[in-house]
Every structure is written in structure tokens, then in C-alpha cells.
Amino acid sequence: MTELRFHRGLYAGLAVEEAVKLFAPHATLRVREEPDHWVVEVEGGARERRVAGELGNYALGLTVKHGNAR
């Protein structure tokens, strides 16, 4: 299992949400909230590392595209 921790001050919540929706068909994703982070747990067998990495990049790309984390 790979755990991605998206800091609330660095990532836009909508970006993380959209990334999770997009990659949900490719792995088992569980999202939980912590005070400072959105945490996404990724389980995807052989593709797990790649799915987790691309999910992180997608969330980052959307955050940058939308201007900032807010």
C-alpha cells in the first residue's frame, strides 16, 4: 500500500478530489482527512507505484493550473 499525503496548504482540495476520481478505476483508493493533510491510500498491485505517482502529479498540475491551494 502506498500512502500519498497532500498538505492542505499546498494542494487544492478540488484538485485532490478530481485526481482521486480520475484514477479510481485503476487502483483501490481510500481517502481520509487529517488536520493538515488529505491522505490517499493507493492499492493497485503491480501498477500501484505508477498510479500513485501519476495521481500525485495530476493533483499538483491541477493545483498549479488553478493558481494555488485555495
Partner 1 sequence: MAHEDSFPEGLVAVDRTAGAVRLELDDTLYPLEALYGAAYTFIDRCWVLLDRPQAGRLRATLAPKAGAGDDGAALHALAGEFANELLSCAWRHQIAQQNRAIIEQVTAQAVAGAMGPPSLDDLAKFEFSGEALEDPLGIAVSWEEKYRDKKAEPKAKDAK
Instruction: Pick the stretch among 17-25, 26-34, 55-63 that binds partner 1 (CB under 8 A).
Output: 55-63
Of 59, 67, 9, whose CA–CA distance to 34 is shortest? 9
Number of helices (H), then strands (E), in the chain: 2, 3
Binding of partner 1 by 68 (CB under 8 A):
yes
Binding of partner 1 by 29 (CB under 8 A):
no
Smallest distance from the beta carbon of 67 to partner 1, in angstroms?
A: 9
Q: Can you name the residues that pair with 5 across neighbouring β-strands?
A: 39
Binding of partner 1 by 10 (CB under 8 A):
yes
Q: Sheet containing 28-33: give its strands across.
A: 2-7, 37-43, 28-33
Q: Which residues bind partner 1 (CB under 8 A)?
A: 4-5, 7, 9-11, 36, 50, 52-54, 56-57, 60-61, 63-64, 68
